[in-house]
Structure 1
Amino acid sequence: MSQMATAATEAEHSSSQLGFRASMSAPGLLVTCVLILFALALVLFLAFRANDGSLMGSGFTVANFITVLGDDLYATVILRSLAISGLVTLATVVTAYPVAYFLAFHAGRWRATILFLVTLPFWTSYLLRVFAWKVVLAYNGVLNSALLSLGAISEPLMIFLNTPAAVVVTLAHAYAPFAILPILVSLQTIPPSLLEAASDLGARPLLAFRRVVLPMSMPGVLAAALVVFVPTIGDYVTPSMVGGPASTMIGSLIQAQFGKANDWPFGAALSITVMLVILLLVALVRLADRKFGSRT
């Protein structure tokens, strides 16, 4: 009887745990299904519709994808977007890693203050931050004024604003916290005993970093790269404000289709194409991560 009572108690406890987990995950599942999966399904539906001037189009066709794949303009813009996003990701991760390393191992009691400063830009509007960089890089902006006062140039330069470099710098600054935090979490999971063991075995700090810290923090680095790369490839606000015609990215074309052109089906086809390209790149990164993990 006692065994049956114990089994019944365990079954009741397991059932209550299952119910608790279901109730806790229900809001997230609801948001995912309604706001994400439904939106993706709607975009996929629109991508195969023909534009007849109405919101949802009429009939089903693959002409939108044929146009996207057959026009060199869209291939050029997608490749440019990949290049700019790649440079933004590289610049962001390279500059974020030292900050995360300092926070993880050397910040001490200043860690909370520095983390506050890292997240401080989130207190302001994204548009305000982009506009601030426009003020800095403008023809009569802060950077040209500083160079003029130092005597480095004789007249203001026009090479700072409306260039791909301006887009890279602005996006790298805007997404820096998104790279710092994943790398910091990854570095904090490294046991200090491993570094002490490396030091006891005669490894100098640079060698210990290369053989211990960097390999073990690679999951955080890859996560930071994805967190930065995926949203920046579709950004259209920054290129429109600080970039010129040579900085046009695919997000700007998609926004134009849903806005001025009023061609939602073609804009949806562009969105699906970009999403497939991103999924392919993410799959390649995951494959590289698995191979890297297998070697370590």
Structure 2
Amino acid sequence: MEDQGWWGRFRRSESFAGLALVSPTALYALLLLAAPLATILLYSFLTDGDTQTRIVWDFTLDNYIATLTEPLYRAVMIRSLSVSILVTAVTVILAFPVAYYVSFHVAPQRKSLWLFLITIPFWTSYLIRVFLWKVILGYNGVINSGLTTLGIIDEPLTFILYNVNAIVITLAHAYAPFAILPIFVALEKIDRSLLEAGQDLGESKAMTFLRVTLPLAMPGVVAAVLIVLIPTVGDYVTPQIIGGGKIPMVANLIQSRMLDLDNRPLGSALAVVAMLVVTVVALAFVALNARFLKVKK
């Protein structure tokens, strides 16, 4: 007998077919993403024990109080956010002209080649690329050797490595393709007739770009900002290698609290606060961008 109830109708619907299709992936993501996040959140409210008892199941807010009141933790959090915002700004500003050139000035039959070239950095490991920048910026690296050979400097420069500038350069290079591609996709969706209409109405190319191209490309810019901003806040490898461990960011601080000091509750609280800070900054940027587009309209 055919089931005529709501369950039978639901099983024959397109919604059920869609859920059945995505359920394996959703369960996999839930297992690998939600479960660790829930564990970190739970640990952040527990108490650190002695060497024999690593975690005491006594719920407390001391970890969050220490995270928010300790000057060291606040300074590292502010530094991480500042570096991430600077990296994001540099990356997106440099990525936009590249995406614009490929979209508007490269022949359609050659765009695939350009996109292929842009993704070449993905062929090598992120760790290898970071070490390559250390070789480039090092005391006897490519830059110092080249400047010494040309006679521009008498001795190698020491300020181009193990500082914030070196970290920004390395992260901007590493995440450049992630910024170029979404901006390129947004630019490709722009109707070229709108640009022609703007110029036919007497607008200059610069004003047409500011009033038409840029607002229509903002979804790609927003995507690029979020793609770069979120992971760079928690980057561990680059500050450790390019910064020489002298400029710790929040990921390095979490690692030291969890592993070196074996204080998992405090490390978990730092991780939760970092995620909340990134979420607030990202949502604020999205809200400001939406308001900007609304005003432009």
* TM-score of the aligned structures, taking structure 2 as reference length: 0.92
Aligned equivalent of 1:127: 127
How far apart, in 1, do the equivalents of 2:11 and 2:257 lie? 52
Alpha-carbon spacing, 1:151–1:35, altered in 2? closer, same or farther (3 Å): same
What displacement does 1:55 show? 5.0
The total of aligned residue pairs comes to: 286
Aligned equivalent of 1:42: 39
Q: Is the 8 A contact 2:134 2:161 kept in 1?
A: yes
Deviations 1:5-30 (A, max 9, x none): xxxxxx97993422221122212321
Q: Is the 8 A contact 1:236 1:251 kept in 2?
A: yes
Structure 2 matches for 1:1-296, cutoff 5 A? 15-52=12-49, 53=51, 54=53, 56-108=55-107, 109-244=109-244, 247-295=247-295, 296=297
Q: Is the 8 A contact 2:137 2:143 kept in 1?
A: yes
What displacement does 1:203 show? 2.2
How far apart, in 1, do the equivalents of 2:17 and 2:183 lie? 32
SS at match of 2:260: coil
How far apart, in 2, do the equivalents of 1:246 and 1:264 lie? 23
Q: Is the 8 A contact 1:195 1:208 kept in 2?
A: yes
How far apart, in 2, do the equivalents of 1:241 and 1:187 lie? 36
How far apart, in 2, do the equivalents of 1:56 and 1:194 lie? 62
Alpha-carbon spacing, 1:22–1:55, altered in 2? closer, same or farther (3 Å): farther
How far apart, in 2, do the equivalents of 1:25 and 1:98 lie? 37
* Comparing 240-249 and 226-235, the one that deviates more: 240-249
How far apart, in 2, do the equivalents of 1:55 and 1:208 lie? 62
Residue type at the aligned position of 1:199: Q
SS at match of 2:285: helix
| Identity, % of aligned positions | 44
Alpha-carbon spacing, 1:14–1:201, altered in 2? closer, same or farther (3 Å): farther
Residue type at the aligned position of 1:135: V
How far apart, in 1, do the equivalents of 2:141 and 2:43 lie? 43
Aligned Cα root-mean-square deviation (Å): 1.7
* TM-score of the aligned structures, taking structure 1 as reference length: 0.92
How far apart, in 2, do the equivalents of 1:67 and 1:247 lie? 21
Moved over 3 A (4+): 11-14, 53-57
Residue type at the aligned position of 1:208: T
Q: Is the 8 A contact 1:84 1:164 kept in 2?
A: yes
How far apart, in 2, do the equivalents of 1:241 and 1:106 lie? 38
SS at match of 2:194: helix
What displacement does 1:116 show? 0.8
What displacement does 1:246 show? 5.2
How far apart, in 2, do the equivalents of 1:143 and 1:132 lie? 12
What displacement does 1:287 show? 1.4
How far apart, in 2, do the equivalents of 1:115 and 1:286 lie? 27
How far apart, in 2, do the equivalents of 1:68 and 1:36 lie? 24
What displacement does 1:56 show? 4.5
Structure 2 unaligned spans of 5+: 1-7
Q: Is the 8 A contact 1:219 1:289 kept in 2?
A: no
Residue type at the aligned position of 1:63: D
Deviations 1:202-248 (A, max 9, x none): 22222211111011111211111111011001111100101145522
How far apart, in 2, do the equivalents of 1:62 and 1:288 lie? 33
What displacement does 1:77 show? 0.6
Q: Is the 8 A contact 2:10 2:16 kept in 1?
A: no
